[in-house]
């Protein structure tokens, strides 16, 4: 082992006799690197001026002497300082990774054969050189106050990087020449990471992918090449690259569908029970749509009511019952950035064009759905190039679409070539400022063209978070859907589209006209009863759902605990599941097989699971200060409270209190419900919509606060 090893590739470091040696100062490393890489003695004045250019000559020489002394104390046998020069003391026992790198390249270049010839000896040298170059020379190193040194370092880095590119080229050539194509991929990928504009490397990597059976990767590589050339140089790929791509696109890929089904295969959907009434409603709307009476239907419910699960179950059942049905879904959550329009429709069109890995696809059935989408793809491409050209790269990413279209290119090569022209033209031309104006019309036209041969079920989840452009598109589609075999089902949370009262009345008035509210009113007028409300569940149905849940969860709690569970959650799915999980974790409830079939119950302890608390707090955050204060007071008053009680404690008129409770807490945010019937207290009695809301509010109060409010309520009752 050499006495001293210096590593300059990447972050510089040094070892001596195999042990790391710490060189703490950047100027010391700069001094050492300059002497090592120039490989010759340096005048002291030259080094002083190079590393301390802003100092006077005397001070610079003094700093140089100080750093040389420190280096000598750290590595005594490395440098030799004479009266006027500084040099390496001896290179005989010194190993430097940059020197070793250059020696390996010199051995390869002097071996006397063509660079593309396969040579095991040179291949070993190239691999060793590649391994030494862990990162650029002095990666991350800088001497901001020494610009001449920075310039020198830059040119050293560029020179070595060029040599690395040559190494990577030769490694790829050797692998291809030696018929070991898989080993050509890594050097080509690293070369493109350094120089992404090198089209020959793109072309070579496409060829290697294609000849190792990685057809999708080859197509993806072409589109990467196409995009980077257009973006950075404003040019299209060379004719030979395009010829290679067309040859690849036309190749038959009989296993693509099977592979796609395998990738899409997902575990069986979770057990779904209950909601028979709601599923029957949805199937009725689908039957009407399939008979040519298209419509838009709403599924509403607060967080945790099971909207997404219901949509998924409906999709499973509909696909099983109708062999010609095509299902696609989208989500209103913002995935593409705040400025990207048509968010849920991007998912829908991605699925319709065979993207089985888009975000919402995980909620959909796998095998049969994938096969139908693959069968539909040629029709979708035909519709896009004939009536929806502006959707390419405005609603659908062009490059991935071409990859998926290549799998069915042979079925209609003319449509594929037109699609290819649309995508490549997009890179070569300036963006059309008004292209988005065509989207709504062309979305309707494409969907209508598809619905002629296949009924369409389009599922739009979390519409409360959709963008304004999506609402405009949905309005346009809904107004032209009547005679089409298309059913659109949109799901949203009513509280999220209600006015946000937390910022005061002026903001609330502005939010009354939420675009989704306008759409629901418009489509109710057009299509009639089109709302499926998951929050409107009878106590009997909720209790039956809870009983079935406990059976499926293998829990047989004592009747008192079962009643307590229902009393706290009122059968709300999220609240029930989370409270059940919490009770089991804390030992208050367990599976019957774990307890020998006893299902023993423990005392119920008041606790709010984290997910439930987060959902409740989100509702509370939307309330005005007055409404929040009244609701907290009501939680102390009891599960049922009267407006008169609250008014007396607050010192408000009963009219003002009633307006706040009825308008904001009841009608707008659905946190309380009016108590009706002969036994209802008068005047104006209300109860909490869910007992866990009250429990959460009580937990937010200190004991002293609760006692103070209880005393005020007792005084008001007298």
The number of beta carbons lying within 10 Å of the beta carbon of residue 71 is 21
C-beta separation of 415 from 382 below 8 A: yes
Query: Can you spell out the DSSP letters for 467-519?
Result: -HHHHHHHHHHHHT-TTSSEEEEEEE-HHHHS--GGG-HHHHHHHTT-HHHHH
Tokens of residue 312, six digits: 């998924």
Tokens of residue 399, six digits: 């490059």
Integer Cα distance of 239 and 197 in angstroms? 16
What pLDDT score does 270 carry? 44
Return left, alpha or beta for 31; rule: phi > 0 is left, psi -120 to 50 is alpha, else beta.
alpha
Residue 548 backbone phi and psi in degrees, to 5: -70, -35
Q: Residue 502 burial (CB < 10 Å; 0-12/13-18/19+)?
A: middle
| DSSP-assigned letter for residue 326 | E
Integer Cα distance of 423 and 41 in angstroms? 59
Tokens of residue 642, six digits: 């009267």
What pLDDT score does 201 carry? 93
pLDDT, averaged per 10 consecutive residues of the chain (718 residues), comes to: 80 84 88 90 90 89 88 83 80 85 91 75 89 87 87 92 93 86 90 92 91 83 88 87 81 46 43 74 94 93 83 90 91 57 88 73 61 87 92 84 80 84 64 67 93 93 88 91 92 80 50 75 86 80 74 66 76 77 67 48 58 81 89 92 91 91 88 74 79 88 88 81
Integer Cα distance of 668 and 439 in angstroms? 34
| DSSP-assigned letter for residue 91 | S
C-beta separation of 169 from 53 below 8 A: no
How many residues can be counted in the chain?
A: 718
Beta partners for residue 329, in sequence order = 459
Nearest Cα to Cα of residue 296 among 473, 520, 493: 520
456 to each of 38, 310, 315, 350, 450, how far by Cα in Å?
Answer: 72, 18, 11, 15, 8
**Residues ≥6 apart with Cβ < 8 Å to 103:** none
Integer Cα distance of 496 and 150 in angstroms? 56
Query: Can you spell out the DSSP letters for 655-711?
Result: HHHHHIIIIIIIIIT-SEEE--STT--SS-EEEESSHHHHHHHHHTS-HHHHHHHHH
Provide the pairing of β-strand 4-7 with 94-96.
parallel
Integer Cα distance of 304 and 306 in angstroms? 5
C-beta separation of 332 from 465 below 8 A: yes
C-beta separation of 395 from 342 below 8 A: yes
Tokens of residue 596, six digits: 């020998």
Q: Is 300 helix (H, G, I), strand (E, B) or coil?
A: strand
Integer Cα distance of 469 and 510 in angstroms? 19
C-beta separation of 137 from 97 below 8 A: no
What element of type H or E holds 4?
Answer: strand 4-7
CA 116 to chain CA centroid, Å, is: 43
Query: Can you spell out the DSSP letters for 379-439?
Result: HHHHHHHHH-GGGBTTTB-HHHHHHHHHTTGGG-HHHHHHHHHHHHHHHHSPPPTTGGGGH
Nearest Cα to Cα of residue 86 among 56, 59, 53, 51: 51
Residue 328 backbone phi and psi in degrees, to 5: -145, 150
Q: Is 86 helix (H, G, I), strand (E, B) or coil?
A: strand
C-beta separation of 641 from 685 below 8 A: yes
Integer Cα distance of 158 and 563 in angstroms? 75
Q: Is 52 helix (H, G, I), strand (E, B) or coil?
A: coil
What pLDDT score does 268 carry? 43
C-beta separation of 74 from 32 below 8 A: no
Find where tokens 């610079």 sit.
60
Report, in angstroms and rounded to the nearest whole number, the Rg of the chain calculated over CA atoms: 36
The angle that helices 276-290 and 307-321 make with each other, rounded to 10 degrees, is 50
What pLDDT score does 558 carry? 64
Integer Cα distance of 573 and 510 in angstroms? 33
Integer Cα distance of 38 and 20 in angstroms? 24
What pLDDT score does 433 carry? 55
C-beta separation of 455 from 325 below 8 A: yes
What element of type H or E holds 215?
Answer: helix 215-233
Q: How many helices (H) and strands (E) does the chain have?
A: 31, 15
Integer Cα distance of 226 and 220 in angstroms? 10
Find where tokens 């010609």 sit.
324
C-beta separation of 342 from 332 below 8 A: no
CA angle at 600 for the pair 595 and 606, rounded to the nearest 5° = 125
């Amino acid at each position: 082992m050499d006495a001293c090893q210096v590593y300059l590739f990447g972050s510089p470091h040094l070892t001596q006799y195999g042990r790391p040696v710490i060189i703490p100062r950047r100027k010391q490393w700069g001094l050492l690197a300059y002497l090592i890489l120039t490989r010759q003695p340096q005048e002291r004045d030259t080094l002083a001026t190079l590393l301390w250019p802003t100092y006077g000559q005397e001070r610079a020489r003094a700093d140089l002497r100080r750093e040389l002394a420190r280096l000598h104390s750290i590595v005594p046998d490395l440098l030799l300082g004479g009266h006027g020069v500084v040099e390496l003391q001896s290179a005989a026992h010194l190993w430097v990774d940059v020197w070793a790198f250059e020696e390996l390249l010199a051995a390869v270049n002097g071996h006397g054969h063509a660079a593309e010839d396969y040579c095991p000896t040179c291949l070993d040298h190239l691999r060793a050189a590649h391994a030494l170059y862990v990162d650029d020379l002095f990666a991350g190193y800088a001497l901001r106050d020494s610009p001449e040194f920075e310039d020198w370092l830059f040119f050293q880095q560029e020179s070595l990087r060029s040599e690395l590119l040559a190494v990577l080229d030769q490694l790829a050539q050797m692998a291809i020449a030696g018929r070991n194509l898989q080993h050509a991929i890594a050097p080509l990928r690293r070369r493109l990471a350094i120089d992404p504009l090198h089209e020959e490397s793109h072309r070579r990597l496409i060829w290697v992918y294609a000849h190792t059976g990685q057809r999708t990767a080859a197509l993806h590589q072409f589109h990467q090449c196409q995009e980077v050339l257009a973006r950075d140089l404003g040019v299209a790929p060379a004719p030979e690259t395009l010829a290679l791509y067309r040859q690849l696109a036309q190749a038959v890929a009989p296993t693509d569908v099977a592979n796609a089904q395998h990738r899409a295969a997902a575990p069986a959907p979770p057990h779904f029970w209950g909601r028979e009434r709601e599923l029957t409603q949805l199937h009725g709307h689908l039957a009407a749509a399939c008979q040519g009476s298209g419509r838009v239907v709403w599924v509403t419910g607060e967080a945790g009511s099971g909207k997404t699960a219901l949509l998924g179950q409906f999709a499973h059942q509909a696909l099983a019952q109708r062999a010609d049905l095509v299902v696609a879904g989208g989500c209103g959550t913002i995935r593409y950035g705040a400025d990207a329009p048509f968010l849920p429709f991007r998912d829908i069109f991605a699925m319709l064009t065979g993207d089985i890995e888009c975000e919402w696809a995980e909620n959909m059935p796998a095998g049969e759905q994938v096969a139908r989408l693959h069968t539909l793809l040629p029709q979708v491409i035909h519709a896009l190039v004939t009536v929806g050209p502006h959707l390419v790269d405005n609603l659908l990413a062009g490059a991935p679409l071409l990859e998926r279209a290549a799998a069915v290119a042979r079925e209609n090569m003319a449509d594929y070539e037109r699609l290819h022209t649309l995508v490549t033209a997009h890179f070569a031309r300036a963006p059309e400022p008004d292209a988005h104006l065509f989207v709504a019309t062309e979305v309707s036209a494409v969907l209508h063209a598809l619905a002629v041969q296949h009924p369409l079920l389009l599922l739009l989840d979390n519409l409360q978070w959709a963008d304004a452009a999506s609402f405009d598109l949905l309005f346009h589609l809904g107004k032209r859907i009547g005679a089409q075999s298309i059913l659109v089902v949109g799901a949203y949370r009513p509280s999220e589209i209600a006015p946000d009262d937390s910022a005061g009345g002026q903001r609330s008035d502005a939010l009354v006209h939420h675009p989704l509210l306008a759409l629901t009113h418009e489509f109710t007028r057009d299509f009639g009863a089109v709302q499926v409300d998951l929050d409107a569940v009878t106590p009997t149905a909720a209790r039956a759902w809870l009983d079935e849940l406990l059976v499926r969860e293998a829990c047989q709690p004592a009747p008192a605990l079962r009643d307590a569970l229902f009393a706290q959650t009122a059968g709300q799915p999220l609240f029930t599941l989370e409270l059940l999980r919490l009770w089991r974790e804390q030992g208050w409830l367990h599976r019957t097989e774990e307890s020998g079939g006893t299902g023993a119950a423990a005392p119920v302890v008041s606790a709010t699971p984290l997910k439930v608390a987060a959902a409740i707090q989100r509702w509370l955050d939307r309330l005005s200060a007055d409404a929040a204060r009244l609701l907290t007071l009501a939680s102390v008053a009891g599960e049922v409270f009267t407006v008169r009680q609250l008014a007396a404690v607050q010192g408000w008129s009963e009219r003002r209190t009633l307006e706040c409770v009825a308008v904001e807490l009841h009608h707008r945010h659905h946190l309380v419900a009016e108590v009706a019937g002969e036994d209802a207290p008068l005047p104006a009695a209300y109860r909490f919509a869910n007992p866990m809301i009250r429990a959460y509010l009580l937990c937010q109060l200190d004991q002293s606060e609760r006692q103070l409010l209880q005393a005020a309520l007792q005084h008001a009752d007298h």
